[in-house]
Chains A and B, each alone.
Chain A
Amino acid sequence: NAGVTQTPKFQVLKTGQSMTLQCAQDMNHEYMSWYRQDPGMGLRLIHYSVGAGITDQGEVPNGYNVSRSTTEDFPLRLLSAAPSQTSVYFCASSYTSGNQPQHFGDGTRLSIL
């Protein structure tokens, strides 16, 4: 049972480039989410999904897109990377909703030059 798997673990981009952070879970969880973690600010919710085909914005959605075509996968797309998006990104999942205990991936450390 792998849990929540994120790829890549590290990535360096140039300003303006686009990329997709991958997230997959094998626990048949309905709820998945993306957070960014910045020093001194805790985790902030970017986007979340309560099931396949359903996504919604969190606290800091600008500059990011998501889709949920299957229960297992929830990729996060950076449309045009900016230095302000330098952060550590975490994907998480839970059985039904955000107020249930969440399982986290190992994170992706992203640097935008």
Chain B
Amino acid sequence: AQSVSQHNHHVILSEAASLELGCNYSYGGTVNLFWYVQYPGQHLQLLLKYFSGDPLVKGIKGFEAEFIKSKFSFNLRKPSVQWSDTAEYFCAVSPDSNYQLIWGAGTKLIIKP
């Protein structure tokens, strides 16, 4: 079955630290890739997406992600986190077999001021 794995369920960092959240998926065909963020008390919102082209994509608020097809990965990065980045981050994959989103379990990120 198709699945999405997010390696860390909880991550705690200090402000200004660098961030990398892992995301791997199990599907050999073409995929669209997404990262969504859910700030405390808010709804999910799109952080960035990859459909095709440059595998390094930039999103809002200084986030970026790199698609590595050979590793089936789409890791999220930010060079220097801020307290306001405290949120839950979800990776989602849409395979071309059914065009629905398959979601990872999420990573809760806590930034210590």
- Asked if A99 and B101 make an inter-chain contact with CB atoms under 8 angstroms apart, the answer reads yes
Q: Which of B49, B99, B106 contacts A97 (CB 8 A)?
A: B99
B67 contacts A by Cβ under 8 Å: no
Give chain A nearest CB distance to B60 CB in angstroms.
12
Residues 71-113 of chain B: 1 if any A CB is under 8 Å from the residue's CB, otherwise 0? 0000000000000000000101010101111011110000000
Residues of B within 8 A of A44 (CB): 103
Is the C-beta of B12 less than 8 angstroms from some C-beta in chain A? Answer: no
Q: How large is the interface on B (under 10, 10 to 19, 20 to 34, 35 or more residues)?
A: 20 to 34
Which one of B9, B43, B49, B98 has the greatest number of beta carbons of chain A within 10 Å? B43
Closest to B4 in A: A42
Q: How many A residues face the partner with a CB closer than 8 A?
A: 22
Which residues does A use to contact B, with CB under 8 Å? 4, 35, 40-45, 48, 58, 90, 92, 97-102, 104-107
Interface residues of B (CB under 8 A from A): 4, 6, 9, 32, 34, 42-46, 49, 90, 92, 94, 96, 98-101, 103-106
